[in-house]
């Protein structure tokens, strides 16, 4: 029994205009199959079947301004309304006063105290690790959460050995990032690997930041490619998915990629996607970002 947690950055509910919303310009057969021929949008916010649910999640948390990654991801990972705590939305990195809260209350730390196994599956190039862990670096919320438990971030070596997943799923940039010995892969195979790795843990986590990057770029070809990679990734995960025992949860921290007419984040709600027999446990409990980690901990407490 495994919980597959996918965080994709900057993915909200947009309108159905294919000129600005790449969800309607992309080839997304897996998402459409899951949701009866539809994709998440302002016109299609909710869906429920025997094994899949889709529902909107609030990201503004009653704080003025546009939601940001630092406070949004802190809310997801800790259950604390980080934006209200610091008095504003803040990002991309966590606000300094949030760091002790993240280290104490994050999802990984709570699972560790429950004697549950977990794994942060992302693998990163050396130059990125040197940047965030260096004397002037700032560690993002999810990586900080994982490091707080005494674990280490995966490198190109683990990606090459197929014990970690390239942070962009396909690994198309490893050569230019200084690691020509790491071969690219297709999203479906990456999803297969993620599923297999997850069978060794109670919870496996994957962070997909390139959706937010694509949204800020306002480039439709890039945005469609990043969404299509995730579609293929999900396809690879659910190929051998056990709906009775496994569970997949997807959430974002704020909107962005769904509206390429603006360069900024949006106030749109984000889609909560849950796959597996126990999906109602999450769709019934998660209404805003602070509800995510409490719902996961509650789920493991019942097992």
DSSP 71-108: HHHHHHHHS--HHHHHTS---SSPPGGGHHHHHHH-HH
Q: Is 201 helix (H, G, I), strand (E, B) or coil?
A: coil
Q: Tell the CATH superfamily of the 3-60+106-302 domain.
A: Alkaline Phosphatase, subunit A (3.40.720.10)
Q: Which residues of the chain have pLDDT under 50?
A: none
Q: Give residues with Cβ within 8 angstroms of 54, minimum separation 6.
A: 35, 40, 44, 45, 46, 47, 48, 271, 272, 273
Q: Indicate the pTM of the whole model.
A: 0.98
Nearest to 275, CA basis, from 47, 40, 111:
47
The residues spanned by each domain of the chain are 3-60+106-302
Distance CA 249, CA 199 (A): 15
User: Residue 46 has what pLDDT?
Assistant: 98
- pLDDT by residue (tens digit) across 73-111? 999 999 999 999 999 999 999 999 999 999 999 999 999
User: Residue 1 has what pLDDT?
Assistant: 84
Q: Is 210 helix (H, G, I), strand (E, B) or coil?
A: helix
């Amino acid at each position: 029994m495994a919980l597959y947690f996918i965080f994709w950055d900057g993915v909200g509910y947009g309108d159905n205009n294919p000129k600005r919303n790449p969800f309607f310009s992309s080839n997304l057969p897996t998402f459409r199959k899951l949701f009866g021929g539809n994709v998440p949008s302002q016109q299609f916010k909710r869906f429920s079947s025997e094994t899949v649910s889709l529902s909107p999640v609030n990201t503004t948390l009653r704080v003025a301004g546009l939601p940001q990654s630092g406070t949004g991801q802190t809310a997801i990972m800790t259950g604390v309304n980080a934006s209200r705590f610091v008095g504003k939305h803040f990002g991309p990195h966590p606000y300094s006063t949030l760091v002790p809260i993240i280290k104490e209350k994050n999802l990984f730390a709570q699972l560790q105290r429950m004697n549950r196994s977990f794994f942060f599956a992302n693998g990163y190039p050396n130059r990125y690790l040197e940047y965030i862990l260096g004397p002037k670096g700032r560690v993002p919320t999810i990586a900080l959460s994982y490091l707080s438990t005494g674990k280490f971030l995966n490198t190109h070596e683990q990606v090459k050995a197929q014990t970690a997943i390239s942070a962009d799923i396909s690994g198309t940039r490893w050569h230019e990032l200084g690691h020509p010995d790491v071969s690219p892969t297709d999203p479906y195979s990456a999803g297969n690997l993620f599923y297999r790795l997850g069978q060794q843990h109670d919870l496996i986590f994957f962070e997909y930041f390139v959706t937010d990057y694509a949204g800020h770029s306002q480039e439709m070809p890039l945005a469609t490619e990043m969404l299509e990679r995730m579609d293929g990734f999900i396809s690879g995960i659910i190929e051998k998915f056990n709906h009775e025992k496994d569970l997949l949860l997807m959430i974002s921290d704020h909107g962005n990629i769904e509206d390429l007419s603006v360069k900024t984040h949006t106030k749109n709600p984000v889609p909560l996607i849950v796959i597996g027999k126990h999906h109602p446990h999450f769709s019934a409990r998660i209404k805003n970002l602070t509800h995510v980690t409490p719902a996961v901990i509650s789920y493991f407490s019942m097992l």
